[in-house]
Chain A
């Protein structure tokens, strides 16, 4: 039985902002509406959904880069949200993040070698000779030449910068890495290199990932289990082969069918997901998906479906699979 590394319990984050002039009204964006999931040790856990469904917010709340409103995050038995300053510092060494935009994620005025040495100095991981050796080892590990340490970010391509971002996350030897769309800003040919690198690190160091993505093809290859999010809520979770072979939620099915198949023989006109994503400011009553769902029933418009476990670690929130 796999060990649970991270457990997220009813995590909630609403953003409020004032809109309008001269009489501003307060609007609430329901970025995360009580989502729960678990990540096993050594597993790549995918968090998928359309833009604005709250998947990046979820990743940042887990790391407490954004403070969630309520809920719980437990890392290896330790409460992350309750951790004080010192505990949080130690937890920061266990959990790291890789960003989407490699052009914004590196300090343009900082040499790569310094940027990689800094976290180890701050956390007191070895003397300067050890840190020096480790910087070199990290560069080699992510596939960059040793002289990269004397160069500045603008001297590198997007893919190389992403490698630097990964190396920076690895400086503190984390166990869990939140990868926030790590390849979606890159060319397809570079994407596979970065994914292979991440997969290699997973095998070598037993890393776990929270892999945030909107690309089902990538998630299918990279992740062992996934959660599908829609407007701030998780609509379906489960192990990867099962979810892709037999999606239970209509939204998951539509996502799967709208992702391209790399084989011209089996190409069919993709079943489109009708309509726009409703706003997270004012989600539809009942099931949030009912405005676009082909199987919509009367009760979908009235009540949000309850979460149901349907065997082998699979769960779904849909009236089609209700009692």
Chain B
């Protein structure tokens, strides 16, 4: 076999898998919309310093509480800060907090779930009891407790949100692990003398990855929502940081006179959560039939 073939071949498998995913994805227009909107928000967040018309902290006292017009597209707040600029910068905080929390929960949760399901027996029973306890707290209440105890900082916020998301990831990873570990190819691995770690990482993880990623998309939406809620009740990012939840709250006090202060950040939160849920649902549909009928 030539060297060239050795290099080209793995790409073929990857491209093939991507194409297959796209075909399943294609039947579902809403997932494309979700993906498009989400990517647009990410793009806006990345480009915020470039495209934002004003500095998000800059106060234009003369123009305070101005409605949307040609200069301030989305209006200004009580300090005369441009709402659009603050929204664009706020997207960065929401996305970073949401994704860091979700990815950490995804890694820790799936590791717990796979090990627990693979080892089985009493360990599994004990671990899953702990997860059930964790899951019995609504994520907002849990986040509230942790932030109230540890104090509101970005790190604590991420920790609080991640902690609430570990249990669902552990559950979603455990269930297929239990099914897969009983299949002959895992027994073949044991007969070949593979270590348990290798079996879990190389042979089980790729087979449960799809489910984990789908849940990841849906939980990213939840994480962003929890962050916004905590900021809204004053336990999230501290002002003057432009967080969406905080902006809704600031506008809340003057909502009857200057509704745009809270309407635009509310719409932003709504939009990103909608987009992520549409994307997650589409991904789930794309992944599911493949798992059921693929082999």
Residues of A that sit less than 8 Å from B by CB: 60, 63, 65, 88-89, 92-93, 95-97, 99-101, 103-111, 113, 118-119, 122-123, 132, 136, 146, 149-150, 152-154, 165, 168, 171-172
Contact = CB atoms under 8 A, between A and B. Distances in A.
Interface string B94-132: 000000000000000000000000000000000000000
Contacts of B133: none
A108 B206 CA distance: 10
A89 B13 contact: no
Interface in B185-222: 185, 187-188, 190-195, 198, 202-203, 206-207
A152 B184 CA distance: 17
B185 A92 contact: no
B185 A107 contact: yes
B203 A107 contact: yes
B13 A150 contact: yes
B207 A96 contact: no
B191 A96 contact: yes
A110 B188 CA distance: 14
B294 interface: yes
A93 B193 CA distance: 8
27 contacts: A63-B191, A65-B187, A88-B193, A93-B193, A97-B187, A99-B187, A104-B184, A104-B185, A105-B188, A106-B185, A107-B206, A108-B207, A108-B294, A111-B9, A113-B9, A118-B192, A119-B193, A119-B194, A122-B193, A122-B194, A136-B1, A146-B1, A149-B9, A152-B13, A153-B295, A172-B192, A172-B193
A7 B273 CA distance: 65
Given A92-B193, A96-B192, A122-B192, A108 B187 contact: no
Given A92-B193, A150-B12, A153-B295, 11 more contacts: A88-B193, A99-B188, A100-B184, A108-B207, A108-B294, A109-B206, A111-B9, A111-B10, A119-B193, A119-B194, A122-B195
A111 B10 CA distance: 9
B188 A97 contact: yes
Among B192, B193, B198, B206, residue most surrounded by chain A Cβ atoms (within 10 Å): B192
